[in-house]
Structure 1
C-alpha cells in the first residue's frame, strides 16, 4: 500500500477538500485550531476538489476553503517551498477572504471572522521550537486583543515536529504526523487508524484508489514543486558563495593597500577575477611579497 504525499498541494486538496472530506476537515481543524477540542461540529467546503477538473486546476483553487456553522471562514494552504514576500501573500489571502464576504452596498456587520491556516514544509519562526503558532491582533504595549478575533493567523511548521509513531498522544500530534510522514507509510498504523478521520484520509490518499490521470498530475506537480525547492536552495547557496567571494576580495584588497598603498586598477581587476580558493591562497602569501611586482608575478602564475 502506497500513499500520495499530502504535502503536495493537489494531493492536499484531494484529501481535505473533496466532497467526502467534511469529517476529515472538521477533525483536522479541531486538532490544529482548538487543540483537539470538538469546537467545530459542521462546515461546508467551498469549491470542493473535482477529479474531472484536476488537469485545469489553478493555484487559487488549490487552497481549501470552508465555512463553519457560525459563518466563520477558514482558508487552509499547504506550502512546501519558501517564496519571496511569503508573509505578505498569507496576509493578502486572509484579507481577501475577509473582504470578499461583502458585495457592494452591504453592511460591515455581515462580516464573519476569518482564520488562515498555513502549513509549511520549511521553518518560518526561528524564535520558537513550537510546531504550531497562532496570531491575533494585539495592542503593542499592553498586549490586549483588538478586533475580537476577527482575523487569526495559524502556522504549522512541519520540520519542527520530531515525534515518532510511538510518541503520538494527541489528535494534533497524529494529524501533524500524517501530513509529514504519510508518503513514507506502507500501511495504516494502529496509532493513526484508531482515529477514523485519519484512516479515511489515508484511504483517500491510497494510490490504488486514484485514477491514472489524478496520479499523473499529482506526481508531476510533486516533481515540479521539488524542482522549485531545489532551485531555491541552489540560489541560496549561490548567494552565500557570492557573499563569501565578495568578503574575500574586500579582505585581500585591504591587506594589499595596507602593505603597498594604492593598488593599480589593472592589478585590482586581476584580484577581483580570482576564485574563492585563490583568494584564500593569496591571503596567506601576501606577507611574502616585497613589492607589487611580486604580486603581479603571483597573479600571472594563476
Structure 2
C-alpha cells in the first residue's frame, strides 16, 4: 500500500477540511487547553476565504477555518516553507476573523476568541530548543496579565521527536502522523493504527483513494515546493557570497586604515624618542607628537 504525504495541500485539506471529527481531535490535541471544559465538543466549517476590506487587495485563503458551538474560531494552516512574512499573514488572518464577528450593532463583550494553529515544515527558531511556540497578548512586566481574544500557536515539525514510540498521547500521535508518513511510506506503525481517529486519517492517505487528476495535482504541488526551496536556497547562497565579498572589501579597507594608523603612531613614537634623547621637555614632546605623558615616560 502506498500513502501520500499528509502535509501536501491536497491531502491536508482532505483529511482536516472535510472531516469535522479529525480537525476537532487535532485541535484538542495541539491547542493549549488547560481544562476539559475548554476542549471542543462540536465543530462546523467556515469558508476558508478571508477577504480584505479593500477590493484592490488579494484575498487570503487559509487551509481550514472552523468554529465550535461557543463561537470560538480556529484557523489551521500547513506551511511548507517559512518566511518572515508568514507570521504577519497569520496575524492578519486571525485579526480579520476576530473583528468580523460583529456587524456594528453587537457588543464587544460578545466577541469570542480566535485560535491560529500554524504547522510549519521548517525550523524558523534555531536558537530555541522547543518546537511548540505559544503567543498571546501579554503585559510585558507582568506576563500573567493577558488581553484575551487572539492566540497563536506555531509548531516546528522538524524539531518534533517523540520521547518513546509507545506514547499514546494524542498530540504525539498527531505529530507522528504529520512527520512520519510521506510518499515513501509503505507500512504504518501499529501504534498509530491502534487509535481510531489516526487510523481513519491514515486511510484517507491511501493512494487508491485519489483520482488520477488529484495525483497529478499532488505531484505538481511537490514540484512547486522543490522549485521554491531551490529559489530560496539560491538566494541565500547568493546573499552569503555577496556578504563574504562585502566583508572582504570592508576588511581590506579597515586593514589599510588600521595599518596607516599604526604607521603614523610608530612614526610619532620614533620622533618622541629622538626629542626625549635631546632633552626636550615632556610638554613640548606631547605637543609635537600627540603622545601622552605616560607613553613618553615609557619610552
CA gap of 1:221–1:60, structure 2 versus 1, over 3 A, is farther
Give the corresponding residue for 1:180.
Answer: 179
Per-residue deviation at 1:228?
Answer: 0.8
Give the corresponding residue for 2:215.
Answer: 215
Name the structure where helix makes up a greater proportion of residues: 1
Structure 1 range deviating more: 28-37 or 181-190: 28-37
SS in 2 for 1:75: strand
Give the corresponding residue for 2:114.
Answer: 114
Answer yes or no: is the 8 Å Cα contact 1:36–1:172 preserved in 2. Answer: no
1:115-160 Cα offsets, whole Å, 9 max, x none, are 000110112333432222212211110112323x311111111011
Per-residue deviation at 1:36?
Answer: 10
Per-residue deviation at 1:188?
Answer: 2.6
Give the corresponding residue for 2:67.
Answer: 67
TM alignment of 1:60-139, pairs within 5 A: 60-139=60-139
Per-residue deviation at 1:86?
Answer: 2.1
Answer yes or no: is the 8 Å Cα contact 1:158–1:180 preserved in 2. Answer: yes
Q: 1:43 and 2:43 equivalent?
A: yes
Answer yes or no: is the 8 Å Cα contact 1:43–1:67 preserved in 2. Answer: yes
CA gap of 1:164–1:211, structure 2 versus 1, over 3 A, is farther
Per-residue deviation at 1:93?
Answer: 1.0
- Between the aligned partners of 1:114 and 1:62, the Cα distance in structure 2 is 14
Answer yes or no: is the 8 Å Cα contact 1:101–1:111 preserved in 2. Answer: yes
Give the corresponding residue for 1:198.
Answer: 198
Question: Which of residues 12, 26, 29 is equivalent to 1:31?
Answer: 29
Give the corresponding residue for 2:224.
Answer: 224
SS in 2 for 1:140: coil
Q: Cα RMSD (Å) of the superposition?
A: 2.6
- Between the aligned partners of 1:182 and 1:165, the Cα distance in structure 2 is 17
Give the corresponding residue for 2:234.
Answer: 234
Give the corresponding residue for 1:8.
Answer: 8
- Please give the TM-score of this superposition, normalised by the length of structure 1: 0.75
- Between the aligned partners of 2:151 and 2:168, the Cα distance in structure 1 is 26
- Please give the TM-score of this superposition, normalised by the length of structure 2: 0.75
- Between the aligned partners of 1:2 and 1:142, the Cα distance in structure 2 is 52
Structure 1 range deviating more: 162-171 or 27-36: 162-171
- Between the aligned partners of 2:256 and 2:95, the Cα distance in structure 1 is 55
Answer yes or no: is the 8 Å Cα contact 2:166–2:191 preserved in 1. Answer: no
Listed as ranges, the gaps of 5+ residues in structure 1 are 49-57, 262-302
1:38-76 Cα offsets, whole Å, 9 max, x none, are 62221112238xxxxxxxxx9844420110121100000
- Between the aligned partners of 1:188 and 1:10, the Cα distance in structure 2 is 20
Answer yes or no: is the 8 Å Cα contact 1:9–1:62 preserved in 2. Answer: no
SS in 2 for 1:150: strand
